[in-house]
Chains A and B, each alone.
Chain A
């Protein structure tokens, strides 16, 4: 009961923080826990600041929000610095680096980067440049993150990345991709078209995806991958659509690119769930056009249920029944989307075996302590 109530008002407040002034302290407490878990507390704090409300909320809440600002600021500095160091290492020989996800929002100065935690530096280069780039960075001091043989093979053969690199003096992960979805996956965006349409930033070596591609990447990542903070990523989509939506021609471009990249399904989901849960302003005609990519009618209620379970955070003490099951279904679904069936079986089996092994090693550690 209580958590359903919290969650209803939780989303409403994240969308419009002016209701904050009527909150009682206990509701504030639950709100702060949920917002922190969802990775949205600093974003919320920024919105309060924009409305000059930060000074009018309880002092404790303000301290929690300031702490979230610090965490975000520090993460953004680290990613900006890592990018600076990559350019420093590559010099003028650098191939164009197409920044992705958080790093793109940050370095392109998009409004949604305000208050957004950014964990890694993700970028994409064309496939033929990636090996040379990896070699150069390793020469200049980056090191492949430690992985066992299985993970190494999994990365190189079946994903759209090389194993992440890490500079030993810093803690920022460098994720280098050559496309935006795994090679084996059923959805195969046109990598050449992504590169060709990318937009240069102030430093011409840095680029970001064109607006429509950026939205589609965010969507394919959120709806076809496992992500740590699904609601935060849904807000990314909400903010991207809000930001680019006002540009003339954006919506038809988005529709065209979704068709061209064959990303219709994640595009449809992006529109459906941003609108359903966050009230994103989407022109009705766009929604009607996108409906051709909807899942079969019979499947729709279940997909709604799975996704909504996934997006709504839980209070640690009150896990919702169904939430864990929905997450498991989602896990199976993302892997099914990404890999051919025989590979899927292999991946799940090996992962499962590994997880059992890890649990045993943990147990024995506990026991000896």
Chain B
């Protein structure tokens, strides 16, 4: 299963010392995220991405093995971002 942004175009975003502040033009809401969540969003901002690839990129970013722990963590982040309407499932990826 793949993911893409819920809106077209880059999200207005600030990165301050590891905190991400993100504006969602669709909902009008602003969110403050930790660094890993911010990184997941940045990966998805590059286009449609498969969940497996997101895990791989996050593992590389954190310099840890891409194991079930990462998959679990990333999975939870994706659910949260989907709930906030920042991302949505993308077909054919």
Tell whether any CB of A sits under 8 Å from a CB of B in the complex. Answer: yes
Chain A residues within 8 Å of B, Cβ to Cβ: 74, 77-78, 80-81, 84-85, 88
Q: How far is the CB of A103 from chain B (nearest CB, A)?
A: 16
Across chains A and B, which 8 residue pairs bring their CB atoms closest together, nearest first? A77-B28, A81-B27, A81-B26, A84-B26, A84-B85, A74-B28, A81-B28, A78-B28
CA distance A324 to B27 in the complex (A): 40
Q: CB-CB contacts of B31-46 with A at 8 A, as 1s and 0s? A: 0000000000000000
A138 CB to closest chain B CB (Å) equals: 18
Of A74, A78, A88, which contacts B85 at CB under 8 A?
A: A88
Assembled-state Cα–Cα distance A60/B27 (Å):
30
What are 17 A-B pairs with beta-carbon distances under 8 A? A74-B28, A77-B25, A77-B26, A77-B27, A77-B28, A78-B28, A80-B26, A81-B26, A81-B27, A81-B28, A81-B85, A84-B6, A84-B26, A84-B85, A85-B85, A88-B85, A88-B88
> Could you list 14 further interchain pairs (A-B, Cβ under 8 angstroms) beyond the known A77-B25, A77-B27, A88-B85?
A74-B28, A77-B26, A77-B28, A78-B28, A80-B26, A81-B26, A81-B27, A81-B28, A81-B85, A84-B6, A84-B26, A84-B85, A85-B85, A88-B88
* B25 partner residues in chain A, CB cutoff 8 A: 77
B88: chain A residues at CB < 8 Å are 88
- Which positions in B face A, CB cutoff 8 Å? 6, 25-28, 85, 88
Contacts of A78 in B (CB 8 A): 28
Determine the residue in chain A with the shortest Cβ distance to B6.
A84
A80–B27 CA distance with the chains assembled, in angstroms: 8
Closest chain A CB from B83 CB (angstroms): 9
> For residue B28, which residues in chain A have a CB less than 8 angstroms away from its CB?
74, 77-78, 81
Taking the closest CB of chain B, its distance from the CB of A157, in whole angstroms, is 36
Beta-carbon nearest neighbor of A74 in chain B: B28
List, in ascending order, chain B residues with CB within 8 A of A84's CB: 6, 26, 85
CA distance A278 to B33 in the complex (A): 51
Provide the bound-state CA to CA distance between A291 and B27, in Å: 46
A85 to B28 Cα, complex, angstroms:
13
Q: How far is the CA of A85 from the CA of B27 in the complex (A)?
A: 10
Q: Give the shortest distance, in Å, between B60 (CB) and chain A (any CB).
A: 31
A80 CA to B7 CA, complexed, in Å: 12
Question: Which B residues lie within 8 Å of A81 (CB)?
Answer: 26-28, 85
| Bound-state Cα–Cα, A80 to B85, Å | 12
Complex Cα spacing A85 to B85, Å:
8
Bound Cα distance from A84 to B28, whole angstroms: 13
Closest to A81 in B: B27
Which A residues touch B26, using CB under 8 A?
Answer: 77, 80-81, 84
Give the residue name and chain of the B residue nearest to A80 (CB): B26
CA distance A74 to B27 in the complex (A): 10
- In the complex, what residue of chain A is closest to B28 when comparing beta carbons? A77
Complex CA gap A206/B6 in Å reads 18
Bound complex: CA A84 to CA B88 (Å): 11
B6: chain A residues at CB < 8 Å are: 84
Name A78's closest neighbour in chain B (CB-CB).
B28
Chain A residues with CB under 8 Å of B85's CB are: 81, 84-85, 88
Q: Give the distance in Å from the alpha carbon of A222 to the alpha carbon of B11 in the complex.
A: 40
B26 to chain A, nearest CB (A): 6
Q: What B residues does A77 contact at CB under 8 A?
A: 25-28
Quote the shortest CB–CB distance from B44 to chain A (angstroms).
17
Nearest Cβ on chain A to B84's Cβ, whole angstroms: 10
Which A-chain residue is minimally distant from B27 (CB atoms)?
A: A81
Question: How far is A77 from B28 in the complex, measured between Cα atoms in Å?
Answer: 7
CA A311 to CA B27, docked complex, whole Å: 34
